[in-house]
Structure 1
Amino acid sequence: MLNNKNNQLETERLYLRHFKTGDIDEYSKIMGQDEVGQWLPRGRGYTKEEVEKSMAGMSKHWEEKGYGIWAVIEKESGKIIGHCGLNFVKQNDEVEVLYALGKEYWGLGYATEAAGAALDFGFDVVGLDRIVAFAKTDNTASKKVIEKIGLKYIKDIEIFGMTCAYYDMKRKPENI
């Protein structure tokens, strides 16, 4: 179930909405987890200042591109559990689907649910022809999520200072 209203998405168990200024403390707790940060370019948890800067960048990205990264909200609790969305990658002129959830939400299918909704948004609403994804080569769980939502492994590449598995998906002909 994908319900798109004002560039905000609703799935069976999640809301994906724009970040608000008041989200900083709750979101910083998630992004500050070293277990989360180990899979991201910094390789560690993020400081509150780094998270604030990142949120400002997300807001600017939405303004410039018309798509971006949402806060992922668990419907049942109303809590922010991470982020997910679409990001323009300047290095290779592509749009990636990405996600990061707090460690207590791993293994529950939330990443697959959110990333699948973001992928559908990219193809059906934004009109993208191709979306890519990256996962550190040793991040087995993330690679499974990427494959579950339909992206295909292409090769390993160096990007963002990391060795990553590189995936892509082209828009299905029926969506054109």
Structure 2
Amino acid sequence: MTPIPTLTTPRLTLRAPGPADVAPFAAFYASDRARFVGGPLDAEGAWRMLAMEIGHWQLRGYGRWMVEERESGRTAGMVGLFCPEGWPEPEIGWDLFEGFEGRGYATEAGRAAREYAYNILGWDTAISLVKPANTASAAVCRRLGAVMEGEFVHQRHGLMQVWRHPAPAELSDGGMEAYA
């Protein structure tokens, strides 16, 4: 089994998903907030999606973390590294749960996930896939220094924008994260 590391940022803990996450995950996937990531789904579909997220760690050696507010311990969403079958290349993705948007959590957790991908896994690039109508996720991409480089059509999810993140050398040579 691939051990899932815990990451911390000033305000967040990124931790392994598990059984306690079924209810908040199902609530997210039952809501309209999930429309950009394959939802809404019923409880069984959400359970299967959470199982896929956990299994992704085993199949790829990396995946997405549940995001908790450090101060309250509440689960704020899921952020991390994702590349299921059919994806054009590994991505950094984020889903924030109801009530946690607008606080910079996706940017903060996305930055931590990217640092893990570059510094621990040795990635030399990463993308984020964003549905064209998902302006909030496009704004997170911009805050992370990513630029839109094209489009990708997925057989189930349809048209998505491909946002390219700065390479590790760009970040270490005075890029955006040098000033974070």
What is the distance in 1 between the residues matched to 2:131 and 2:105?
Answer: 19
More strand by share: 1
Q: 1:126 is paired with a residue of what secondary structure? A: coil
2: CA distance, partners of 1:76 / 1:29:
22
CA offset digits 1:102-126 (Å, max 9, x no partner): 1311111111111111111111111
* 1:114 aligned partner: 109
2:161 corresponding residue in structure 1: 165
Letter matched to residue 25 of structure 2: Y
CA distance in 1, matches of 2:17, 2:84: 20
Correspondence for 2:71: 76
C-alpha distance in 2 between matches for 1:171 and 1:51: 33
Counterpart of 1:26?
24
Q: Which amino acid aligns with 1:80?
A: T
Question: Which residue of 23, 37, 41 maps to 2:38?
Answer: 41
- CA deviations over 1:8-42 (Å, ceiling 9, x no partner): 111111111011112211222223211x1122133
The answer for the alignment partner of 2:118 in structure 1 is: 123
Identity of matched residues, %: 27
The answer for unaligned runs of 5 or more in structure 2 is: 173-180
The letter for the 2-side match of 1:123 is Y
Inter-partner Cα distance in structure 1 for 2:116 and 2:53: 17
Aligned to 2:53: 58
User: Aligned in 2, Cα 1:22/1:161: closer, same or farther, shift over 3 Å?
Assistant: closer
Following the alignment from structure 1 to structure 2, what is the Cα–Cα distance between the partners of residues 163 and 110? 26
Indicate whether 1:146 and 2:141 are aligned.
yes
Is the Cα–Cα contact under 8 Å of residues 8 and 15 in structure 1 kept in the other structure?
Answer: yes
TM-score for the superposition, normalised by structure 1: 0.86
Residues 1:7 and 2:5 are matched in the alignment: yes
Contact 1:41 1:162 in 2 (8 A): no
Asked if 1 retains the 8 angstrom alpha-carbon contact of 2:56 and 2:84, the reply is no
How far apart are 1:94 and its partner, in Å? 0.9
Cα contact 1:33–1:102 (8 A) shared by 2:
no
Runs (5+) with no aligned partner, structure 1: none
Root-mean-square deviation over aligned CA pairs: 1.9
Runs of 4+ in structure 1 off by over 3 angstroms are none
Q: Show CA shifts across 1:151-170 (max 9, x none).
A: 21102332243222211135
